[in-house]
A and B are shown apart, each in its own frame.
Chain A
């Protein structure tokens, strides 16, 4: 009897785990990252012949080697975290806003347009306010169009927001051609609309993002709006049953998400770039999706995951300068490590039960 049973039982079956204690969750994740870095070191030793230890050293020095690098690290972390925070409210209600790239870019464009139109004609403080408002408003508009269609006709938001990214990119290149009569399409650094500097030039940006992180954490976890978002994300039917206006929540949340993306665009223009190109956001709108998902849509964890991603990114580019390898190498390394991190989530939430174990239990 039991023999027949063993033959029919599959090799293993998968069950959901009980909630793991926090230290073993962290352990699995750290192990995955360590394993991934080890694999990358072996791969680059075989492919290019880099000494693995030197590689690790160069990775760390890339982020923390000098005072300048630490500031740059914090700056990149803040920008990435800001965009990641922006997409999080939407993700919490399972609205897949993968249009952060476009929403932030169009926000940056709005700020630049204000500078070009009004720069030098009005006081700087007033200009900054106008820039801020227009960036936030246009970011919100860019985000709310897909949300309206989702609320009214249940249009697929993933595909819609994805398309909106490219429309934003082409609109930016259109305006760049208009603004540069020479046809070079590169706008130099503009002279107006600079955010004031507090001590270090990046300090204000970092502080703004820190405040935003805490603010969003409170909004999502301790406010009525945050609760409604979670319920809509869990089950739209439950939300309807307890009297939440689902359409309103979807639209309101995407206004917030888009507006925060627009804010990121404003910060990039007024505090860092003072200009705009089609590569101003540089794919961070997509990286933000990974940061947010890996951070379990929790702003505090997301600060950690964006720390990790920024560290990997800067470390890998330091490797490519130190060892004079092709500049595409970093994205290969970061890609491999991200695959490991994505994959390890499985072992946190699921358990693999092998056959012989199950049979013993049956006996």
Chain B
């Protein structure tokens, strides 16, 4: 019988630790999101749902943790180790512009002239790249002396098989493309693949 008391006592300690960790990591939802979530789940206002969610479920959880705390401990330890192992998951290869994807060489002034954003409702600054003007200036800061600016268009396939079109401008130093600034980034359906070949052929005329 003493062993049973010890077992249940340890179960209570495990319950306290789990509950404490839950309280520490749980953040308060914003009021606006709470209203939105309640609108999505109309059952949340029913008394039966509230009894189930706020009383029955927590009581059952307490009983379960105290009764089978070794399983709870095993699952927590397993989760910790799985988090460490998941760091070894193959990372998606990073997109980089290739020479074949270059379109035309442009000056900074030419690019900024063509990329000024205009809007009849004045909902964007009338600057090159509009709301992304600051990002463009940050991109230019990293350009070394003598580096060229080129436009590019690239078909890219993610690790998960999703096909994308990425267009923009890239810094080219000694013939090698470097950092880039995106102006278009969108998914493309499979039937659009044939149109990409024309742009690839044009890019082969790049000297150097």
B is bound to A? no
- Chain B residues in contact with chain A, CB under 8 A? none
- Chain A residues in contact with chain B, CB under 8 A? none
